[in-house]
């Protein structure tokens, strides 16, 4: 006779970028083991695989490959709230006094921060615009092996360019994925520093999971601890 299976409760969440409502269950011991590997791993590929596996296991009717990074971060923190509890206790080291500060986060206080000046349409010239798409978790692989500042800047630039979805010139719409890497490189080589700064603004202002907590250090100064993105889950 087989052992009985424990039925997990289902909850609903709304994916921030698409506003689609999906059902999810808390993670179990099986997923906790995957999480442990992700937390201890120093390899980006392993972290990416672990996050994908957890979401695929726990969330219904979702294509993990199409989720924006902030969608994944929101899903992860929602899973954490229902699987463990709403409170996360942790320590941070004050950079001025070197003391360890005990802090507590209520997951309900972690929100998606949206910038009202954010725009996915970028005007390059009077007749050419580009439409950006949000970075996916697989694009973190661009950062793998980038150790020097120069390598990291190059990796970030590749990730930025990888988020150009379409190019529009008049009535013509070009899907960048339909072109070879050489053709894309030739297009990008024509960018000015102003074009690159406009693309950078898209990333600087895109939605992000954010939490702020005020505390007082030993020298009596009031300071603010800020957690953004995936770090809100792994602190």
What was the pLDDT predicted at 144?
65
What was the pLDDT predicted at 235?
53
CB 122 within 8 A of CB 160: no
The structure tokens listed for 181 are 């890497």
Radius of gyration of the chain (CA): 21
What was the pLDDT predicted at 93?
85
What span, in angstroms and rounded, lies between the C-alpha atoms of 68 and 136?
Answer: 5
Could you give the strand order of the β-sheet that contains 172-175, starting from the edge strand earlier in sequence? 121-123, 128-132, 164-169, 172-175
- The 3-state DSSP class for residue 126 equals coil
- pLDDT per residue of the chain (235 residues) written in tens, 0 to 9: 777 777 889 999 999 988 999 999 998 888 888 878 777 777 777 888 888 899 999 999 999 988 998 998 899 888 988 888 888 888 888 888 888 888 888 887 888 888 888 999 999 999 999 999 999 887 776 666 667 777 777 878 888 888 999 999 989 999 999 999 999 999 999 999 999 999 999 999 999 888 888 888 888 888 888 877 665 555 5
For the range 112-115, what are the long-range contacts, defined as Cβ-Cβ under 8 Å and sequence gap of 24 or more? 112/16, 112/70, 112/74, 112/207, 112/208, 112/209, 112/210, 113/207, 113/208, 113/209, 113/210, 114/207, 115/205, 115/206, 115/207
Residues 6+ away with beta carbon under 8 Å from 157: 196
């Amino acid at each position: 006779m087989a052992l009985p299976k424990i039925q997990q409760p289902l909850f609903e969440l709304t994916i921030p970028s698409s506003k689609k409502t999906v059902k999810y269950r808390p993670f179990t011991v099986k997923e906790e083991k995957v999480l442990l590997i992700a937390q201890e791993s120093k390899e980006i590929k392993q972290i990416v695989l672990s996050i994908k596996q957890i979401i695929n296991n726990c969330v219904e009717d979702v294509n993990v490959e199409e989720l924006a990074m902030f969608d994944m971060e929101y899903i992860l923190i929602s899973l954490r709230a229902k699987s463990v509890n709403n409170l996360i206790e942790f320590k941070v080291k004050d950079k001025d006094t070197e003391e360890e500060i005990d802090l507590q986060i209520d997951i309900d206080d972690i929100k998606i921060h949206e910038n009202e000046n954010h725009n996915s349409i970028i005007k390059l010239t009077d007749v050419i615009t580009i439409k950006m798409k949000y970075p996916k978790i697989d694009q973190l692989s661009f950062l793998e092996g980038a150790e020097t500042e120069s390598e990291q800047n190059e990796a970030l630039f590749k990730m930025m360019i990888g988020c150009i979805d379409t190019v529009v010139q008049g009535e013509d719409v070009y899907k960048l994925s339909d072109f070879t890497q050489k053709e894309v490189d030739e297009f990008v080589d024509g960018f000015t520093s102003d074009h690159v700064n406009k693309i950078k603004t898209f990333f600087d202002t895109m939605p992000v999971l954010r939490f702020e907590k005020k505390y007082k250090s030993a020298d009596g100064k009031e300071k603010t601890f800020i957690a953004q993105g995936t770090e809100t889950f792994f602190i």
